[in-house]
A and B are shown apart, each in its own frame.
Chain A
Amino acid sequence: MKTKIKFIASGILLVTIMAVLGCTTQNNGSGALSSNVAERAYVAPGEHDEFYAFVSGGFSGQLSVYGLPSGRLFRVIPVFSVDAEKAYGFNEETKPMLETTFGFIPWDDSHHPDISQTNGEIDGRWVFINANNTPRIARISLETFETEEIIEIPNSAGNHSSSFVTENTEYVVAGTRFSVPVPQQDISIDEYKSNFKGAISFIGIDQESGRMNLDFQILMPGFNYDLAHPGRGKSHGWMFFSTYNTEEANTLLEVNASQNDKDFIAAINWKKAEEYIQQGRFREMETAYAHNVYDESTHMATSTIKRTVKVLDPAELPGLVYFLPTPKSPHGCDVDPTGEYIIGSGKLSAALTAHSFTKMLDAIENERFDGEAYGVPILNYDDVVAGVVEQAGLGPLHTEFDTEGNGYTTFFISSEVVKWKVGTWEVVDRKPTYYSVGHLMIPGGNSRKPFGKYLLAMNKITKDRYLPTGPELTQSAQLYDISGEKMELILDFPTVGEPHYAAGAPADLIAPRSKKFYELDDNNHPYSIKNESEARVERDGNVVHIYMSTIRSHFAPDNIEGIKVGDRVYFHVTNLEQDFDVPHGISMIGANTSELLIMPGQTETFVWEPKKVGVWPFYCTDFCSALHQEMQGYVRVSPRNSDIELSWSLDGE
């Protein structure tokens, strides 16, 4: 009996020692290996995530929707690239969304999503994102998770310092990366200096509809404008842009644009700009840009070309723009939640520069300038700098904030995330990323009200991090728990395309308003039908319109005859379902376009130009029901000179 007790006692002792050892290993080991780390990123089957993350797709041109902390992918919202799965850019309704003054463009490079705000807090109405290559800004509804509007940005090239939202979503700004001749003209590239301009666009947002209007542009000196951030609270009314290539090089920029010890953060007083617009001190400039709007009631997009833009010249308009010298080609340009500090991340430097908004205003008031560039006053570095985070890492890129007064900055070259204290500029913690992190995102971390808790780091390369898939490897994001003093890596997950930036919001801000289906009664598509009895086929010369409906589990009509080779056949298909998650799809053998994927209550159209005589089938492409496989039909195609009458039926009727 005694031995038994001893046994048990020594057993307990052993367990205790092991537990202590275990704890020690846990503290010393990498965060991802400790046992309860997995639990923190785990969302049980059937449970919902706490946050939405809208992650840009970079060269995929799209915007992906993930849940945090699980990293589960819910949806890829097609924005700037065609998406055959969803018929985006393939059906007649959405083709106009991708129209530009260069014609239809099936692809772009999407970079910086930003969620609409009210009083500097994320409000979950819309998310905006920029197309970098052919400059455009898109607005995506967070009720339907569909792209509702795309506006082209004239006088811009490489639309990179975009699409950032002001405190009350008054504007979405879009700044040019490349400076270009404005207006475009046939001149030698060597004439870059003083002939090239950098356009910064202010796109006004209608607070009811979200509709975008290019209110005005500021024609800045010919630098490269990299990123931007709106003022918050006390600095509301200002917009800050990082610049590089203040050398104004036009060749071998990797060397020639990296010579100046300091470039600038441009501080733009947009309230002042509004005053100048009011006073009529703008130039109305001839230009051309496309404005594409998707109407939810007609389920169709329209594209119109607009012809003029109001232009402001900062050289002639005092008080509009100031330059804040900032070390070494700053990339990120981020404002803390109080609005006092503007953080410049000199991407070729080891330090992080924090400018003080108060000191900036003071310097402006006392006109303590250190020269000017193209008529824009340059402030003294020492007059505006509030502090420097010294030796924080190598190659700082981008900063966001938590609820406790900490900043978190990514360092591309040293491949890490660094946590530092706003005000004391001390480094608190650092954690490696795998590898070469670009931007990071803390839900609400770019607003007045960060939600904290998680930090999402978006990496540029993954190397050996995942199972290899040939030369092209997955892109990835990494999730850190930032609720404690030290950051902990809790999850790696692959992303669609290259994630340049993300926007996060609490799920309860967005999920309750997510639309379940479209009301059939509100469908104003000109070719919609509201019930099967309206299903029909009409011919107008060689153009044929099929008014078709879908409901579980059949098409109406499903037998059509009298179509001829050389006809142009429009399938206008209305999904009569009125329950959520019951889409139907359709495609036709040999159709030179994508399938349609039609949500309940919606109408979509695809074009088919039959080339061969015969009887050709179509079927439902979305597994809609138990009898999905029976959901199909035939079209009889006759020779061009045939006199077979148009006829259609469902079950012989």
Chain B
Amino acid sequence: MITGAFFLLALFVLPMWNITLEAPQYPDSIGMDIWINKITDHNPNDIKNINLMNHYVGMKPIPEHMREFEIFPWVIGVMSFIGVAIGFIGKKNLYLAWFIVMIILGAAGMYDFYLWEYDYGHNLDPTAAIKIPGQGYQPPLIGRKEILNFTAISRPMSGAYFLFAGILMSLFAYFISKGEELKYEKEEAI
């Protein structure tokens, strides 16, 4: 349980998500890495080049500041701290509670990510040079999607894997400790 909670801290040093754009004119592809507190170039100048390309269809530049960048580190920090604390307390039901809260928070995070993607792909500048009626530019939440001449690929990165592992470990911890308790109860029954 404690290890799992510590795994969350990996998000402070590892990127969480990646969106890559592929097209013949970009043989090296261009992409951005999403962290809990920032968005960075996958390769130097990628965000500049994504913005340059997207401005033709009126998409907003990739934000340097978002409200989420301030909230997420706190959420992850606090949840990690609580996780460690309940690990020391050692109450199995608290493990399950932490697991459920993390699943809810994770789902909320993904929903928030979706909302941003929707806005990014649909809230277009009315003065854009290229307008294609009915065309949205929203990147996929996860997986591949063709957007005009680009293939957009959205996938978790190492930070997210640590997050998943941490959450699963809490569930694992819950089952292990439950097993021990059952055994104990059975012995008592005998």
Contact = CB atoms under 8 A, between A and B. Distances in A.
B129 A552 contact: no
Given A551-B52, A552-B52, A626 B130 contact: yes
A626 B56 contact: yes
Interface stretch (B41-49, B82-90, B103-111): B41-49
Interface string A593-627: 00000000000000000000000000000000111
A258 interface: no
Contacts of B56: 625-627
B129 A579 contact: no
A334 B129 CA distance: 62
Given A626-B56, A627-B56, A579 B49 contact: yes
Contacts of A119: none
B44 A578 contact: yes
A364 to B, nearest CB: 58
Nearest to A626: B56
Contacts of B130: 626
Given A551-B52, A578-B49, A579-B49, A627 B129 contact: yes
Nearest to B30: A579
Interface in A550-600: 551-552, 577-579
A488 B179 CA distance: 80
A626 B132 CA distance: 15
A577 B52 CA distance: 9
A625 B56 CA distance: 10
Given A626-B56, A627-B56, A578 B129 contact: no
A625 B48 CA distance: 15
Nearest to B129: A627
B130 to A, nearest CB: 7
Contacts of A627: 56, 129
Contacts of B45: 578-579
Nearest to A519: B44
Contacts of A579: 45, 48-49, 52
Give the interface size bracket for B toward A: under 10
A469 to B, nearest CB: 35
Contacts of B44: 578
A530 to B, nearest CB: 13
Contacts of A630: 129
Nearest to B49: A579
Interface string A523-558: 000000000000000000000000000011000000
Nearest to A601: B45
A3 B103 CA distance: 79
A632 B44 CA distance: 29
Contacts of A578: 44-45, 48-49
B37 to A, nearest CB: 24
Contacts of A551: 52
A149 to B, nearest CB: 29
Interface in B101-152: 129-130
B129 to A, nearest CB: 6
B122 to A, nearest CB: 21
Contacts of B48: 578-579
A627 B127 CA distance: 14
A578 B129 CA distance: 22
A625 B55 CA distance: 12
A504 B129 CA distance: 47
Interface in B126-185: 129-130
Contacts of B52: 551-552, 577, 579
B120 to A, nearest CB: 20
Nearest to B44: A578
A552 B56 CA distance: 9
B137 to A, nearest CB: 15
Contacts of A577: 52
A551 B45 CA distance: 14
Nearest to B45: A578
A262 to B, nearest CB: 58
Nearest to A517: B45
Contacts of A625: 56
Nearest to A625: B56
Interface in B19-56: 44-45, 48-49, 52, 56
A541 to B, nearest CB: 38
A577 B56 CA distance: 15
A309 B129 CA distance: 62
Nearest to A600: B45
Interface string A219-241: 00000000000000000000000
Nearest to A516: B28
Interface string A344-358: 000000000000000
Nearest to B53: A552
Nearest to A577: B52
A490 B165 CA distance: 60
Interface string A93-105: 0000000000000
Nearest to B48: A578
A482 to B, nearest CB: 33
Interface in A45-81: none
Nearest to B26: A579
Interface in A608-653: 625-627, 630
A630 B56 CA distance: 12
18 contacts: A551-B52, A552-B52, A577-B52, A578-B44, A578-B45, A578-B48, A578-B49, A579-B45, A579-B48, A579-B49, A579-B52, A625-B56, A626-B56, A626-B129, A626-B130, A627-B56, A627-B129, A630-B129
Given A577-B52, A579-B45, A627-B129, 15 more contacts: A551-B52, A552-B52, A578-B44, A578-B45, A578-B48, A578-B49, A579-B48, A579-B49, A579-B52, A625-B56, A626-B56, A626-B129, A626-B130, A627-B56, A630-B129
Please give me the 9 A-B residue pairs with the lowest Cβ-Cβ distance, nearest first.
Answer: A578-B45, A579-B49, A552-B52, A627-B129, A578-B48, A626-B56, A579-B45, A627-B56, A551-B52
